[in-house]
Amino acid sequence: MQLAHDLAPASPWTRVIGRAATVEHPVRKARALLDAVLAEPDLVLALPLARTPGRYERNYLFGDPTMSVWAMTWAPGSATSIHDHHCSCCFGIVAGELRERRFRPVRDDAVTPTREWVRGPGFRACLVPTGPNIHQMVNTAEVEAISVHVYGFDRTRRASSVEREYRLAAES
């Protein structure tokens, strides 16, 4: 795994990455990486992560040709689009809370809500691209949230894990 250039010191991250080095199945490896990172949340909290008022920011941590690991900072009120992924997506909460909203398609470009949960520190989940896994992440709290995401794609070949974005059926 290649570490991001701005991570320092590298030795704790090398140890974290090493915990998943022997796992071969891609989704199990992503889950093992996520578990290893969430087991040491202070490593993420100590990083100089990008932050922007009113939105979320993606911070590349490390990756290889099969996956990429990102820390995301979530300003109060920030949200992703309603989207699905082209690859596996494992995510976990390091600090704060995020509301995860799930949807079902009603047309090619439109969805309707089905469920939602508030996810807190230590929560982890993996979505595989057997789809649809249409969801949206929202910080509805008044404080920042931080999450870690492990995507099954090479960030040097594709800029994002998002396959498709949707609208609420009422907005279409």
Reported as a single tens digit per residue, the pLDDT across 11-56 is: 788 888 888 888 888 888 899 999 999 999 999 999 999 999 999 9
Do 60 and 155 meet the contact criterion of CB atoms below 8 Å apart? yes
- In the predicted structure, residue 89 carries a pLDDT above the cut 90: no
pLDDT in tens, 107-147: 888 999 999 999 999 999 988 777 678 899 999 999 999 99
CA-CA distances (angstroms) from residue 29 to 66, 78, 80, 116, 150? 10, 29, 25, 27, 10
- Tell me, what CATH number does 6's domain have? 2.60.120.10
- Stretch 64-92: mean pLDDT, rounded? 89
Higher pLDDT, 148 or 126: 148
If one compares 67 and 87, the residue with the highest pLDDT of the two is 67
**pLDDT-wise least confident of 2-11, 16-25, 51-60, 97-106:** 2-11
64-77: pLDDT as tens digits = 888 889 999 999 99
Quick one: pLDDT at residue 77? 97
Q: What is the pLDDT of residue 87?
A: 67
| Host domain of residue 13 | 2-171
Answering whether pTM is above 0.75, one says yes
Containing 16, the helix (H) or strand (E) segment is helix 10-18
Asked whether the predicted pLDDT for residue 86 surpasses 80, the reply is no
Note the pLDDT of residue 163: 73
Please give the mean pLDDT across all residues of the chain: 88
Q: Into how many domains does the chain fold?
A: 1
